[in-house]
Each structure stands twice: as C-alpha cells, then as structure tokens.
Structure 1
C-alpha cells in the first residue's frame, strides 16, 4: 500500500498557505501530486488571495521528490509517463497560477523537491536546506523539472548538479546560483522574515502582482508541451533493469 500523504490549505488576510505532508520525507506519490496541482488551480480562481506560501510539514526534509514506492511499481510506459506527468502538471499549474508563490524551504530537497522550489517566484530557506539532483544515479534524469531549474540557476549550474548526483549542494550554493532568494541560520529567523514579506506583498494591488507574475514567466509557453515530452523520457527509462535495481538499493 502506498501512503497518499496530505495537502492542507489555510487562507488568512489574502495569504494562502499550502502545506504538503508525507511520512516518507515529504515525498510525492501521484495522488498527492494531483492534489497539489488542483490546489494551485483553485487558488488561481480565488479573488481574495494575493499571495501563496508553499511549505511542507515538519522540521526535517522539505521534499524527497518522487515516491520510490510508486516508482518501483511502474511496470509499463503508460504508467511511467502518467506518473512523471504529475510533476509536469504541478510545475505548469504553478507557472500559470496568477498568484505569486513564495517557497518556505526548511530542509533538504531532492529531485522533484528542487523542481518545486524552482517553480516558486521567491524562495526563503535555512542553512540546512541542501539540494541534490540524484536522478541520473538511478538510471533516469531530472528531465521534467529541468526547464524550471535551469530557468533559475542556469544550464551551467544545472549541469553541475545533474552530473554530481550523489553530492549535496549547500543552501549558500543554491542562493549564489539563484534558486534561493534569502537564506537564514534558523527557522525562526526565516519565519519572521517570511511573515513580514508576505504581509507586505498581500497589501499591494493584486492586479499589479498578477501582471508582474506574467512578466516573470514570459517565454515559458512551450512548457505546455515540453514538460510532457520530458515526462515520456522518464517514463521510458524508469522501466530499465538498471533503474529497478538502483531504486531497490536506494530504498534500502
């Protein structure tokens, strides 16, 4: 049985806080990916919301990426393509959402978790928020999230991450390369600054914020097709014996 995790949204004073949770280091099975996608589209339609904060539950990992349990169960291309399209759906819903999305990254992020951070419009993190793209080590690659990550940190930095799949990059590295906007030594300091930041944003003209968001994401219209083409690559590669064996080792 694959645990589904949860998505919880609280709206207060024009700020929507989305909290995702999963017992396996806040990883994402397909059901949770769909719930998060749906939540962004719902909030996009909410005229009372000006800003969205995306965070995960707890004080440990921010997000461990794709659910290994579900990856191990993929037995055909159709299922593989559908699973990785879940990450394409989330990233597209974030870029299309008219509300500014602020990331709260309290801990480590791997794979799809890095993609989520990259799809945010502004990101707060702690010094514990190391990042890693481990996909190539298990026989696939960060294909779906690449456009979002490269858009923030450049192709050069993306290449560096991808080709060192067992190496953690520090939160300072992530900030220096453009993934994180601000980094704090403690979670308390982060939350104090985050609360001030979103309060100020939420009191600005909502229409102006929406127009600014459009500018941030100019030139990404091709992602409607590109991300699903990338999902198909991952859906094919996840069926390889190399990947199955690697996933078993990583799980252990």
Structure 2
C-alpha cells in the first residue's frame, strides 16, 4: 500500500512507520491520521511483523502537534466529533494494538504528537526531544487522550502542571518523570529501538498480545485488571506458543515460537 504522508519499511520482524511531513514538522492532519490507522491495521494483520517502531522524519520533530488550520473555525459539535473520531481511529487503536508499538521520539512531540507517543506501548527519546501539551495556549485542552494518559504516566500533579502551563520538558526531565523509558543520543535512537524490538520479537507474540490486553485493562474504568490477567493467563495454556516455550525450557534450548 502506498501513502502520501507516511513511510512504512519492513525488515525481518520489525516494521518502521515514519510520519513524513517535514515541511509541517510532521503535524497530524486528518489524512495522516487515516493513513496511520490503515498502516497499523495492515501491519497488525501481518503475522511476520512482531514489533512496530513509530517515528517522525528528520531530526526536528516526532510530531509537532495537530494541523491547527484544519479545525480553527470548528463549532463545539465539530470539535467534539474531531476528538471522538481521532481517538477511535488512531490513539485508542494504537494503545490496544496487539502488536507492540515503540515510539522513537525525535525532536518535538507536542500536543497531538505527545498524545500519539503516549498511545504507543512505550517511548524512547533522543536527547534532543522536547515534549509538552500546549493546547491551553490556544484556548483548548488536549483532545486525543492527553488528559488521561499523561497522569497515568507521570502522576496527577505533574500532569496538571504540564497541561496548565503548556510548557515543554526536555528528554532528561521526561525520563525522570517516567514519560519515556530511555534517553539516548539522537544518532542512537533508531538503533536502540531496533535492538529492543529485536529482543521483543524473539518472544511469544501470542503471550505479548495477552499481556498488552491485561495491562490496559488495569487502566480501564470498566474492566478489572486482575480478572483480565487471570483470563489471559489461562488462555495462554491453550496456545502452541505455550507448548513450545515450556518444551524448549525443559529441553534446555531456545524456543522457536510459531505465533499461535
């Protein structure tokens, strides 16, 4: 499938999705959001792809925000629909994807860009990264899950301060807050993500799928995380991956998971 605003590259079990709007600092518009949805949906259905890395083109920006020109004149009703559709189509979709998604945060990750990074399963930042939710400086609030995911990651007080001031934080502060897992030199960002993705790809994709679902359940207002874990744990026993993993352990060899 060909795209206008993103680039999808596959190498062995790892896919790299690059948002490619450098003249707009990779800002998210409706077309890009749709293309990202289509790409993630396609990659999830590909059993050969075990991990997805998401990044932005160039070194200036992961995603510098949403394309404000698309919604500056929206009404209240249109604004609500914009947030609802975006969350369903991309942000919630990525969070609940069964294939792990690593955000490689290069440069600015602001507004919708930080919200997209937070929707990924975890984040690794280059040392030049700057992150923030500046929506209140425009008279609006984060609408793609930022008011929910940021407190989950950094705590209520820090999230309140970041959102109310609209200020950016640097990569080291993001690491200290727990917003990112690692900070590396910019030139080491993708190699580091690929190294971690390689380790993930060797494990059971079926077990990872169940782990993602169980972890997310713990942050849901409607699900019981412990019950979700018990159910997922039990289902793992009926998989070919479980049989291969336990047999390989007992035979003192590396497992070769079939992904079933």
Q: Do both proteins adopt the same fold according to a TM-score greater than 0.5, normalized to the shorter chain?
A: yes
1:100-111 aligned within 5 A: 100-111=100-111
Once residues 81 and 30 of structure 2 are traced to their aligned partners in structure 1, the CA distance between those partners, rounded to angstroms, is: 8
Matched, 1:206 2:209: no
Q: State the SS of the aligned residue for 2:107.
A: coil
Once residues 193 and 21 of structure 1 are traced to their aligned partners in structure 2, the CA distance between those partners, rounded to angstroms, is: 21
Once residues 120 and 129 of structure 2 are traced to their aligned partners in structure 1, the CA distance between those partners, rounded to angstroms, is: 15
Normalising by the residue count of structure 2, what TM-score does the alignment of the two structures yield?
Answer: 0.77
Once residues 45 and 154 of structure 2 are traced to their aligned partners in structure 1, the CA distance between those partners, rounded to angstroms, is: 30
Once residues 193 and 45 of structure 1 are traced to their aligned partners in structure 2, the CA distance between those partners, rounded to angstroms, is: 25
What's the offset of the Cα at 1:78? 4.1
What's the offset of the Cα at 1:79? 3.1
Query: Once superposed, what is the RMSD of the aligned Cα atoms?
Result: 2.0
1:1-252 aligned within 5 A: 6-22=5-21, 23-74=23-74, 76-89=75-88, 90-145=90-145, 146-165=147-166, 167-184=167-184, 186-221=185-220
Once residues 71 and 126 of structure 1 are traced to their aligned partners in structure 2, the CA distance between those partners, rounded to angstroms, is: 30
Q: State the SS of the aligned residue for 2:218.
A: coil
The one-character-per-residue Cα deviations of 1:97-156 (angstroms, maximum 9, x if unpaired) are 101111101111111111111111121111211112111111111143222222212222
Once residues 190 and 143 of structure 2 are traced to their aligned partners in structure 1, the CA distance between those partners, rounded to angstroms, is: 32
CA 1:5–1:73: 2 relative to 1, 3 Å:
farther
Once residues 15 and 203 of structure 2 are traced to their aligned partners in structure 1, the CA distance between those partners, rounded to angstroms, is: 15
CA 1:28–1:42: 2 relative to 1, 3 Å:
same
Larger Rg: 2
CA 1:200–1:113: 2 relative to 1, 3 Å:
same
Gaps of 5+ in 1: 224-252
Which residue of 1 is the match for residue 235 of structure 2? none
Equivalent pair of 1:33/1:86 in contact (CA under 8 Å):
no
State which drifts further: 41-50 or 12-21: 41-50
Normalising by the residue count of structure 1, what TM-score does the alignment of the two structures yield?
Answer: 0.79
Aligned residues: 217
What's the offset of the Cα at 1:212? 1.9
Which residue of 2 is the match for residue 250 of structure 1? none
Gaps of 5+ in 2: 223-260
